[in-house]
């Protein structure tokens, strides 16, 4: 497969549609070509944000500042600038430091903290001409999967307001799905991009761990954390990936969606064991459609204990590294609080969880010995198992439902019902945690709606470092499955 990538040209009609419906690449092209001014585009998005304020997708939006930045972008264009994201407003998860804009990390105590620096990824998008539209709501300290924040409100699913958005990058996913912004930066440790992408019906891309810069983003685990993006198409993720990494395309994507030669793996015993019937039916239908388009589908078995292996190792690393990672971040970036101060201010359920698994004396804390075993024994074994697909079977990606169910209702988010069983909400990450465990790149694509009108996601995971191949293949699948340019606004 040719894994070189480029963005094809766009031209938005002048008479056109509601500008808020433009995707990232289309909006950037429209501004660059003079079809729309950044100020007019930004004003339309601000109006939409106000009309959809009940979603709680943003913690803060400085309307005057973003409009001024848009006017500056229009002046830069008039002066000849052709920056790739010139004048396009993006959402930014409120775990990213943003110079001159409040950065709360989802905490009440940091509601008025204004950093003196940008996170590296924010600096990259600004350098490409993008504007920070606002700071997206998130679960406190990115510790949760449903989108509940005690201080800033539950982020609601744009498809059904009484259902969760997913988390922890909850507002980022919801704001893209609701056409408030064309893309938003998020973060993913065990599924915090892919879970909300699946629930909200957008594309969510988690790069290979370490591919995108993490400096300036509030951490959970230095082993597992990665920054990434939500967008409405794979093409838009490709554009953001190029901007953030600096890797440019060698040639233009040919636009073809022929899957002949593509070899795709799935592991039913591992990833269809606890899945709602409607999600499984849609997944198997997707497999048939991909086969009909020329893809070769191979079934793999990752072992009876694969799920328990990744769960134990990954959650153990996640919890063991939290205290040290947060403490170092606060010190390095002069954040005016302490780990102890954050702990004391957490909502009761989260404080109880941290007391159990994060604090060294907690009853569920991972011992130093168990942590080293997870790093040096379990992770290499997980990688060896996954190589049965990538190496032994020659698969380019492993496919699975991104989440085992559609978005639960807000009232039932602590204990969720999957395949007739009542389980912990942590089960929402049962599928995403495997890529996180060893740093694989992963992307979630929307593949339609349930009978209740809730999105269903398809995850593609590839071997570490093969992000560009993953993105090209994901774009082909997107074309085959008919998800390209779908308007997911409510």
Q: Which residues are catalytic?
A: 93, 168, 192
Longest C-alpha distance within the chain, in Å?
Answer: 64
Alpha helix stretches (DSSP H) within 246-305: 268-271, 277-292
**Whole-number Å distance between alpha carbons of 372 and 253:** 43
Q: Output the CA angle 32-33-34, nearest 5 degrees.
A: 95
- Which residue's entry shows tokens 């998005």? 45
**Whole-number Å distance between alpha carbons of 454 and 157:** 9
**Cβ atoms 81, 129 nearer than 8 A:** yes
* Contacts of 134 by beta carbon, 8 Å cutoff, 6+ apart: 49, 58, 59, 60, 61, 62, 66, 91, 92, 181
* Contacts of 156 by beta carbon, 8 Å cutoff, 6+ apart: 54, 55, 56, 147, 162, 163, 164, 165, 174, 410
**Cβ atoms 343, 354 nearer than 8 A:** yes
Tokens of 468: 């560009």
**Whole-number Å distance between alpha carbons of 75 and 186:** 29
What single-letter DSSP state applies at residue 50?
Answer: H
């Amino acid at each position: 497969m040719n894994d070189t990538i480029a963005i094809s040209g766009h031209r938005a009609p002048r008479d056109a549609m509601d500008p808020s419906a433009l995707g990232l690449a289309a909006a950037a092209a429209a501004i660059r070509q003079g079809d729309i001014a950044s100020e007019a585009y930004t004003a339309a998005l601000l109006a939409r944000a106000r009309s959809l304020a009940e979603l709680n997708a943003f913690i803060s939006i400085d309307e005057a500042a973003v409009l001024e930045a848009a006017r500056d972008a229009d002046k830069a264009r008039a002066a000849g600038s052709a920056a790739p994201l010139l004048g396009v407003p993006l959402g930014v998860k409120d775990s990213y430091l943003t110079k001159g804009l409040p950065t709360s990390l989802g905490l009440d105590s940091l509601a008025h903290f204004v950093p003196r620096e940008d996170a590296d990824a924010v600096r990259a998008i600004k350098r490409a001409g993008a504007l920070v539209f606002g700071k997206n709501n998130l679960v406190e300290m990115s510790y949760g999967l449903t989108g509940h924040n005690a201080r800033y409100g539950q982020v609601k699913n744009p498809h059904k307001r009484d259902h969760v958005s997913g988390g922890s990058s909850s507002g980022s996913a919801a704001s893209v799905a609701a056409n408030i912004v064309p893309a938003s930066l998020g973060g993913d440790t065990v599924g915090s991009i892919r879970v909300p992408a699946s629930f909200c019906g957008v594309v969510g891309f988690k790069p290979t761990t370490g591919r995108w810069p993490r400096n300036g983003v509030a951490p959970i685990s230095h082993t597992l954390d990665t920054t990434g993006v939500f967008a409405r198409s794979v093409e838009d993720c490709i554009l953001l990936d190029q901007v953030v990494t600096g890797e440019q395309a060698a040639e233009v994507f040919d636009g073809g969606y022929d899957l002949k030669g593509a070899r795709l793996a799935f592991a039913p015993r591992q990833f269809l064991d606890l899945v709602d019937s409607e999600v499984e039916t849609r997944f198997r239908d997707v497999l048939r459609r991909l086969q009909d388009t020329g893809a070769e589908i191979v079934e793999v078995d990752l072992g009876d204990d694969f799920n328990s292996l990744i769960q134990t190792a990954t959650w153990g690393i996640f919890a063991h590294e939290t205290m040290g990672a947060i403490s170092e971040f606060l010190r390095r970036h002069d954040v005016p609080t302490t780990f102890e101060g954050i702990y004391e201010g957490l909502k009761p359920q989260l404080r109880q969880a941290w007391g159990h698994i994060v604090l060294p004396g907690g009853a569920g804390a991972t011992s130093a010995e168990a942590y080293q075993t997870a790093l040096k024994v379990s992770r290499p074994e997980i990688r060896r198992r996954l190589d049965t697909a990538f190496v032994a079977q020659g698969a380019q990606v492993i496919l699975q439902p991104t989440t085992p169910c559609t978005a639960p209702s807000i009232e039932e988010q602590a204990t969720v019902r999957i395949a007739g069983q009542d389980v912990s909400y942590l089960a929402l990450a049962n599928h995403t945690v495997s890529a996180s465990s060893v740093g694989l790149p992963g992307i979630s694509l929307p593949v339609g709606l349930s009978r209740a009108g809730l999105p269903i996601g398809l995850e593609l995971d590839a071997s570490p470092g093969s992000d560009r191949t993953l993105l090209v293949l994901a774009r082909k699948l997107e074309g085959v499955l008919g998800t390209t340019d779908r308007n997911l606004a409510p």
